Amino acid sequence: MDFRLTKEQEMMQKLCREFAVNEIEPLAAEIDAEERYPWETVRKLQKYGLLGIQFPKELGGSGGDNICYTIAIEEASKFCGTTGCILSSHATLCCWPIFKYGTPEQKEKWLRPLISGQKVGAFGLTEPNAGTDSAAQQTIAEKQEDGSYIINGSKVFITGAGCADTYVIFAMTDKSKGNKGISAFIVDKDDPGFSIGKIEHKMGIRGSQTGELIFEDMRLPADRLLGKENGGFKIAMTTLDGGRIGIAAQALGIAQGALDKAIAYMKERVQFGKPIATKQGLQWMVADMATEIEAARLLVRRAAFNKDHDIPYTKEAAMAKLYAAEVAMKVTTQCVQIFGGYGYTREYPVERMMRDAKITEIYEGTSQVQRMVISGQVIGK
Partner 1 sequence: MKAIVCVKQVPDTSGKVAVNPDGTLNRASMATIINPDDKNAVEAALTLKDNTGCEVVVVTMGPPPAEGMLRELLAMGADRGVLVSGREFGGSDTFATSQILAAAIKKIGVDAEDVVFCGRQAIDGDTAQVGSQIAEKLNIPQISYAADVKIEGKKVTVKRMLEDGYMTIETQTPCLLTCIKELNEPRYMSVGGIFDCYQKPVEVYDYNTLKDDPLIEVDTIGLKGSPTNIFKSFTPPQKGQGRMLEGADKNTAAELAAELLKKHII
Enumerate binding residues for partner 1 (CB under 8 A): 7-8, 11-12, 14-15, 18-19, 47-50, 52-53, 57, 61-64, 68, 72
Q: How far apart are CA 256 and CA 363, in angstroms?
A: 20
Q: What is the dihedral of CA 373, 247, 264, 4, to 10 degrees?
A: 80
Closest CB to partner 1 among residues 8, 108: 8
One of 23, 74, 361, 364 is an active-site residue; which one? 364
Nearer Cβ to partner 1, position 71 or 130? 71
C-alpha radius of gyration, the chain, whole number: 21
Listed in sequence order, the DSSP H helices in the chain are 7-19, 25-34, 39-47, 66-77, 81-88, 96-101, 104-106, 112-115, 232-268, 280-308, 314-338, 350-359, 367-379
Q: What is the DSSP track for 89-114? A: IIIIIIIHHHHHH--HHHIIIIIHHH
Distance of closest approach, residue 23 Cβ to partner 1, in angstroms: 9
Least separation in angstroms between residue 64's CB and partner 1 is: 6
Q: Comparing C-alpha atoms, which of 110, 72, 58, 114 is closest to residue 91? A: 114
Q: Going by DSSP bridges, is the β-strand pair 194-199/149-159 parallel, antiparallel, or unpaired?
A: unpaired
Nearest distance in Å: CB 53, partner 1: 5
- Rounded Cα gap, residues 259 and 254, in angstroms: 9
Q: Rounded distance, CA 92 to CA 153, Å?
A: 24
Nearest approach, Cβ of residue 327 and partner 1 (Å): 27
CA dihedral 152, 157, 161, 167 (to 10 degrees): -60
Which CB, 69 or 170, lies closer to partner 1?
Answer: 69
Rounded CA gap, 134 and 179, in Å?
8
Q: How far is the CB of 60 from partner 1 (least distance, A)?
A: 10
> Which of helix, strand or coil describes residue 196?
strand
Of 11 and 136, the one with the shorter C-beta distance to partner 1 is 11
* Least Cβ distance, residue 282 to partner 1 (angstroms): 26
What does the DSSP 8-state code read for residue 138? -
Distance from C-alpha of 40 to C-alpha of 86, rounded to nearest angstrom? 13
Please report how close the Cβ of residue 12 comes to partner 1 at its closest, in angstroms. 6
Clarify whether 364 is annotated catalytic. Answer: yes
Between 48 and 344, CB nearer to partner 1: 48
Q: Would you say 18 or 34 has its CB closer to partner 1? A: 18
Residues in a beta bridge with 166: 121, 188
Q: Which CB sits closer to partner 1, 18 or 108?
A: 18
**Catalytic residue numbers, as ranges:** 364
